[in-house]
Structure 1
Amino acid sequence: MKVYKFGGASVKDAESVKNVGSVLKSQGFEQCVLVVSAMGKTTNALEKVVELYFAKQDFATELSKIKENHTAISQRLFDESHEIFAKMTAVFDEVEEFLGRNKSPNFSFVYDQVVSSGEIVSSKILSAYLNDQGFDNQWLDARELIKTDSTYREGVISWDDTQRNISRLNQSQSYVTQGFIGSEDDNFTVTLGREGSDYSAAIFAYCMNAETVTIWKDVPGVMTGDPRKFENVSLLPNISYEEAIEMAYYGASVIHPKTLQPLQQKNIPFYVKSFLQPEMPGTKVGETDQNCYIESFILKENQHLMRIATRDFSFIAEDHMSQIFSMLAKFKIKVSLMQNSAISLALCLEDKYEKISDLERELSQHFSTETVKNVSLFTVRNADLQKLHTFYNGKTILLEQISKKTVQLITN
C-alpha cells in the first residue's frame, strides 16, 4: 500500500485536477490511499465565512462564492448531469444549515465544522473525476476513521481507535480521502491544525504499514531554502528523519512538523516530489547514510519577540518558567526560540490564534513584559561559521543564538 498526498495547489482548478490523473498514470494508482487538501485558497475563504458569522455579518454571500468556484471547476470536468453536482451542493447546504442552527459560542468548534467542508468537497470531486478516468477508487470520510480528542483546531490523535478503524480497510483497493480532519467521540469534526494534511497522510501510512508516503508539491522536493524567498537554492536529494524533523521545527514549510514521527517509528520512507515534474526523483526522507548536510536557510515570518523580566530583579527560576509556560499553553502560543539571562527570558512566539494581547495582559500581573511584533526568525542549518558575518548583512538583529550547526537570528 502506498500513500499519496496532494495539497491545495495541486487541485486548485480543473487543469490541476486533470494533472493529478496524469501523475497517477505515470506513478501508478494500484493499492493506494490518496489524501487530498481543499482546493487552492478554499480554506482561507472558509475562514472568512466563520469570521463573518461571528461578526454577525453576511456570511452566506461568501459561502455562495466558494460554491460557485467549485461548481465552475466541476463544469470543466464533468457533464452537467453528473451526480457530483448534487453531492457538492449537499455539502455546502449542510454548512449553511449548521450555521443557521448553531448555538455554540466556541469559535474553534464552529471553525472546524465549517472549514473542514473544503476537504470534503475537493475529495468528492477528485474521487469522481478519477473514477471517470478509469482510476477505480472508493471515497472515504476520514472523520469516520481518524479519531481525536475534542481539542478543536489542533486535534490530538486517539491512536488505538484510529488504528482499529483504518486497519479494517481492504488494502487491495484504492481510496480517496481527506487530509486535515478527524472527529471526536461525539462525531463532531476536529481539524488537525493548519497544513495538517501531510500529518493525515502519515497517520494512514502508519496504521496501514504503508510501503511509502509521497507528498506532491509545486517544488522539486526539499530545497536548501524556499525559492520564493532565497536565491541559488538547490535540491536535498536525501535527508534523515532527524534532519527533516529539525528543519520542520525551525519552520521549513515544505514539511509539516507532526508528519515525520509516525513514519520514523515504522521506518516508512517519505518522498517529497513535484506534481509538475513527477518523473523527477525529488527528496527521500528516511534512514540514510547519505544525509545531505548542506547549508540550508529557513525564514519564519509573523513572529513576536517578547522579553519577560521579574519585577523585583530576582532570578528567572523554575517556578517562574513553569508559570510562564503554563500561560503559553493556555493561549496555544508556540515558542519558536527561547533565550534566558539571570533576570529575563526572551521568547520568539508564534501566535496562530491571535492571543498575544491576552498573554501580555496576564503576564503583566506578575512580570514586566516588552513585545516587538511581526518579527522574522531566520535560521541557517549546517551553517558555515567561517562566514558568519555574511548572515548579518542588511539585517537589524534583535536576538541571536548560535550552536554547533545552527545560527538563528531574530530580525525586524
Structure 2
Amino acid sequence: MKVFKFGGACIQYPEAVRKLEQFIKSEQPHPLVIVVSAMGKTTKGLEKIFQQRLDAQPYDETLQHLYLFHQEMIDHLLRKLRQEAYQTLALWKEQLVTTLSVPAVDTSLEELYSRIVAEGELLASKIIDYYLQEQNVACAWLDARRCIKTNSRFCNAQVDWAATKHWVKKNVIPLLEKNQVVLTQGFIGSNEAGETTTLGKEGSDFTGAILAAVLRAQSLTIWKDVPGIMSADPKLFKQATKFDHISYEAMAEMAFYGAKVLHPKTIQPLAAHNIPLYVKPFHRPHEAGTEITHGFPQLEHPVYILQKNQGLVHLSREHPTFFDEEHLKEVFHQLTQHNTRVNMLAKSAHTFSICLNADSYRIRTLLAALNQKFQVHYHTPVNLLTIMHQDDSLPKTLLQQETILLGQQRPGVYQAVFQHEPKTM
C-alpha cells in the first residue's frame, strides 16, 4: 500500500486533474491513499478573505474569484455530475459566508482562520471525487477530520497520535479493503470537540506522512511541480542542482531552516518507521525525483534557502538593563501564546532579535504584547537567506550589494536578514 500526496500547483488545471486517473491506474490493483491540497492559489485567496474580514473590508470580490475558479474547473471536468458539483460549490460558498459572519467575540481568531482555510482542501477533494466517479474509478472520499485528531492549537495543531491511530485504522482500512483507493484532504484535522484544526503551512505533506506511518505504507510520494529536492531556487541561483538521494536527517534540517518543499514535521514519522519518501515531478512522473531515507551520506554541496516576506523584531530594555533569562522567558511565552513560527534568533547583552513570518495576522497582537514589556522595533518586509554547508566566501559574494540587518554564523550554517531580494547568481 502506498500514499500519494498532490500539491495545489499539481491540480490547478483541468488537464492536471485528469492525470490523476493515470496515477491511480498505474498502481492498480494495489491499495492507494491519495491526499490533496487546495487547488492552485485557493489557500492564499482564503487567507486574503480572512484578513479582509479582520480589517472590516469587503471580501465579496475575492470570494467570487475563488467561486468562479472552481466553477470553471467543474465546467471543464464534469458532465453527468456537473449539476451536483454546482450544488456542492454553491453550498460551499454559502457555508463560507456563514462562517465569516460569526462575530469575533464568539470564536478565537485561530479557530476562525482554520475553519475558513480548511474549505480549500475540502472543495478540491470533492471536485476530484466527482471527476473520478465519472471515470468509474473505485474511490472512497473521506473527510480527514474524521481521522487526523489534534489538540486545540488550531493553526499549528499538534497531532494526538493515539486518537489518530485509532480513527485511521477504523475509517481508512475498511475503505481500502473495499475500494482500494481512498481520497482525502491534507492540512486539516479536528480536536476532541470536533472543531476544525490545521497543521500549519505545507501541512498536507505532514498529513501524508501521518497516514503513511499509521498504515505502515510501503512509501510516501509527494508530487510537486519541481524536479525533486533542489539545492536552491533555480530561478534565483543558476548553480542549483537536484539531489537524487538525501538522508532523513539532512532533509529534516533543510525543512527546519525553511525549505518550502516539505513541511518540517513530515520527516519524523517516516524515519521512525523507515518509510521511504519520494519527491517527484508531477508532469514528468517517470523521472526519479529525489529519494529520502536512511543510509545516505550528509549533504556535500551548499544549500540556499531564501524566505521572503519576513519580519525582523528587535527587542531591548532601557540601558544598562541586560537581557536576562526572565526576559527571554517572557519573549518565548509570547511567541508560544501567539503560535508564531520563528526562523532566526540572535541575542546580545542588551537586545534580542527575532526573524519571523510576516504574513500572519498574529503579528499585530504579538507586537502589542511584547511592547508592554520591551522597546520594540519592527522591520518589514525583509528577506532571510540561510546557507547550509557553505564555503566561507559564499555569504560575502551573494550579499555584497545588500543591506544586511542581522547576520549570524554557526558551524555549517550562515543566516542573514536583508532588505532586498538577491539577484540571480
TM-score (norm 1): 0.92
Name the residue aligned to 1:232: 239
Name the residue aligned to 1:208: 215
Return the offset for 1:10: 0.9
CA contact (8 A) 1:23 1:275 kept: no
CA contact (8 A) 1:215 1:272 kept: yes
**Partner AA of 2:150 in structure 1:** T
Label 1:384 to 1:62 Cα distance change in 2 as closer, same or farther (>3 A). Answer: closer
Name the residue aligned to 1:242: 249
Name the residue aligned to 1:73: 73
Equivalent in 88, 109, 112 of residue 111 of structure 2: 109
Name the residue aligned to 2:138: 136
SS at match of 2:311: strand
Label 1:358 to 1:258 Cα distance change in 2 as closer, same or farther (>3 A). Answer: same
Label 1:283 to 1:27 Cα distance change in 2 as closer, same or farther (>3 A). Answer: farther
CA contact (8 A) 1:131 1:137 kept: yes
**Partner AA of 1:122 in structure 2:** A
Name the residue aligned to 1:159: 161
Name the residue aligned to 1:376: 383
| Distance in 2 separating the partners of 1:122 and 1:240 | 32
CA contact (8 A) 1:217 1:275 kept: yes
SS at match of 1:389: helix
CA contact (8 A) 2:202 2:263 kept: yes
| Distance in 2 separating the partners of 1:205 and 1:342 | 46
Name the residue aligned to 1:89: 90
Name the residue aligned to 2:12: 12
Equivalent in 167, 178, 189 of residue 185 of structure 2: 178
Question: 1:11-410 residue pairs with structure 2 within 5 A?
Answer: 11-26=11-26, 30-56=30-56, 58-60=58-60, 62-82=62-82, 83-99=84-100, 104-168=106-170, 169-170=172-173, 171-172=176-177, 173-385=180-392, 387=394, 389-410=396-417
| Distance in 2 separating the partners of 1:75 and 1:195 | 28
Return the offset for 1:166: 0.3
Deviations 1:107-136 (Å, cap 9, x if unpaired)?
Answer: 322222222121111111112322433432
Label 1:347 to 1:107 Cα distance change in 2 as closer, same or farther (>3 A). Answer: closer
Return the offset for 1:328: 1.8
Alignment RMSD: 2.3
| Distance in 1 separating the partners of 2:101 and 2:378 | 40
SS at match of 1:89: helix
| Distance in 2 separating the partners of 1:405 and 1:258 | 22
Q: Which runs of 5+ in 2 are unaligned?
A: 420-425
SS at match of 1:225: coil
Deviations 1:143-170 (Å, cap 9, x if unpaired)?
Answer: 1111122222222211111110001222
Deviations 1:190-213 (Å, cap 9, x if unpaired)?
Answer: 122232111111111111111111
Return the offset for 1:291: 4.0
Return the offset for 1:288: 2.0
Report percent identity of matched pairs.
35
Label 1:349 to 1:58 Cα distance change in 2 as closer, same or farther (>3 A). Answer: closer
Paired residues in the alignment total 412
| Distance in 2 separating the partners of 1:262 and 1:281 | 23
CA contact (8 A) 1:143 1:189 kept: yes
Label 1:315 to 1:201 Cα distance change in 2 as closer, same or farther (>3 A). Answer: same
CA contact (8 A) 1:49 1:62 kept: yes
**Partner AA of 1:90 in structure 2:** L
CA contact (8 A) 2:404 2:418 kept: yes
| Distance in 2 separating the partners of 1:110 and 1:357 | 17
SS at match of 1:263: helix
Return the offset for 1:6: 0.6
Label 1:358 to 1:405 Cα distance change in 2 as closer, same or farther (>3 A). Answer: same
Deviations 1:207-255 (Å, cap 9, x if unpaired)?
Answer: 1111111111000000010123322211011111111111111111111
Q: Which runs of 5+ in 1 are unaligned?
A: none
| Distance in 1 separating the partners of 2:68 and 2:345 | 46
Label 1:387 to 1:60 Cα distance change in 2 as closer, same or farther (>3 A). Answer: closer
Return the offset for 1:26: 4.4
CA contact (8 A) 1:144 1:183 kept: yes
Label 1:102 to 1:139 Cα distance change in 2 as closer, same or farther (>3 A). Answer: farther
Return the offset for 1:142: 0.5
SS at match of 2:77: coil
CA contact (8 A) 1:238 1:288 kept: no
